[in-house]
């Protein structure tokens, strides 16, 4: 597994990333947004930010780490 960068970029440095949010989200900015980072030194990572603080920091995840996180959210009987 490759190491993740040792810094968390400001979301403004990811301004051209294709940010998206769940279709279940309301317009109240009470959700998270994700973006696949396709180019540059962060290519291949997934960025996650708070929709209320779009210029704030973003957390970075490898695809495997994000999938593992999502798996923990699934009901045990799913």
Is the distance from CB of 11 to CB of 54 less than 8 angstroms?
yes
**pTM confidence score:** 0.72
Query: E strands along the chain, which residues?
Result: 32-36, 46-50, 59-61
Rounded-to-10 torsion of CA 28, 34, 35, 41: 130
Instruction: Using pLDDT thresholds of 50, 70 and 90, give the confidence band for residue 65.
Output: very high
The pLDDT, as a whole number, for residue 35 is: 92
């Amino acid at each position: 597994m490759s190491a993740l960068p040792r810094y968390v970029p400001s979301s403004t440095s990811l301004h051209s990333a294709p940010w998206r949010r769940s279709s279940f989200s309301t317009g109240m900015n009470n959700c998270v947004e994700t973006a696949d980072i396709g180019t540059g030194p962060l290519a291949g990572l997934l960025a996650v930010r708070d929709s209320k603080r779009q210029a704030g920091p973003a957390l970075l995840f490898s695809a495997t780490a994000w999938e593992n996180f999502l798996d923990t959210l699934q009901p045990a009987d799913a």
